[in-house]
Amino acid sequence: MRDWLERIGPVPRGVAAGAVLAAVAGAVAAAFISSNSGTVHGSSVPGTGEAVQPVQVSAAELAKLPRATTFTSVPAAPSDPAPFRVSSGLVVHPLTPRVVYAGPGKPPIAVLPATELGSPTWVPVVQGSNGWERVLLPSRPNGATGWIYAAGATATQLDTRRSPYLVRVYLAARKLSVFLSGRSLGNWTVAVGERRTPTPTGRTFIMASLAPPQPTYSPLILPLGFHSDTLTTFGGGPGTVALHGWPDPSVFGRAVSHGCVRVPAAALSVLSHAPLGTLVLINR
């Protein structure tokens, strides 16, 4: 686990930051569909325990599927069934773009690309079923999930690991806590979204790590798989919510942001070590 933390978390600095709900902007290039596009996956056959092969999807059909990124919406995505439950810490990284389904044996709804905002795509697994893994998606609507077929993926298509980190945000108390293997690494007073632009609640994850070459308010920005519920865009970006620092400590303990969680430098330092895909639970 130590080797993995050193390899993917924190993400190497120097990735240009754009506008997220206080800092993510720009556009992400469309991902190419890998050779697994024709792969069929499914639920188990009653009484056999074997995976059912779903209907094949043509290249033309795949090309019409939305890419599951912070810039897109996946309206057909099923909602998170347990938005405040702690997951096992299992995270997956598609080394090649993976088809995302509405469920085992159900129609495809999106394509999960290999990268998000210049960082490798790591998403948390929140449910498993006979070779299938249900993951949180970075797209709108908040709490969007999808299923990928892990059993049919090779080592060159899908990487599966485990993050020992957990981040908790308590909006009413204006607090953020970070845990490593169940052990508290610290609790900090933070700033959260104001009444008109509240920080959304539920289960999300650290989607990317951005280090602005010329930072204005934070040396590190950690976009989450959440978006503002009241802003469709912000600063030229898609209204992505993030964890980031703030130069004026007087904001901590207040509801003053456009939805992002502003954290002290000490908290940002600890968060910088959390691998991508790490679960973030935001409670009222």
Q: Where are the domains of the chain?
A: 28-162, 165-283
pLDDT on residue 81: 97
Alpha helix segments (H runs only) across the chain: 2-8, 59-64, 265-271
For 1-16, the pLDDT digits (tens) are 233 332 333 333 333 3
Q: Kind and range of the H or E element at 100?
A: strand 98-101
Q: Give the amino acid at 15.
A: V
* Number of other CB atoms surrounding residue 3 within 10 Å: 7
The pLDDT value given to residue 133: 95
CATH architecture, domain 165-283? Beta Barrel (2.40)
**Interval 202-257: pLDDT, tens:** 999 999 999 999 999 999 999 999 999 999 998 889 999 999 999 999 999 999 99
Dump the DSSP string for 119-184. EE--EEEEEEETTEEEEE-SSBSTTBEEEEESTT--TTTEEEEE--EEEEEETTTTEEEEEETTEE
The arithmetic mean of pLDDT across residues 93-98, rounded, is 95
Which of 122, 150, 120, 125 has the alpha carbon at shortest distance from 135? 125
Is pLDDT of 122 > 90?
yes
Task: Give the residue-averaged pLDDT of 186-201.
Answer: 98
What is the predicted pLDDT for the residue at 55? 59
Reported as a single tens digit per residue, the pLDDT across 52-83 is 565 578 899 999 999 999 999 999 999 999 99
pTM of the model: 0.84
Least confident of 40-54, 77-91, 94-108: 40-54
Per-residue pLDDT averaged across 21-43, rounded? Answer: 32
> Measured in whole angstroms, how far is the alpha carbon of residue 121 from the centre of its chain?
8
Strand 202-205 to strand 279-283: parallel, antiparallel, or no bridges (unpaired)? antiparallel
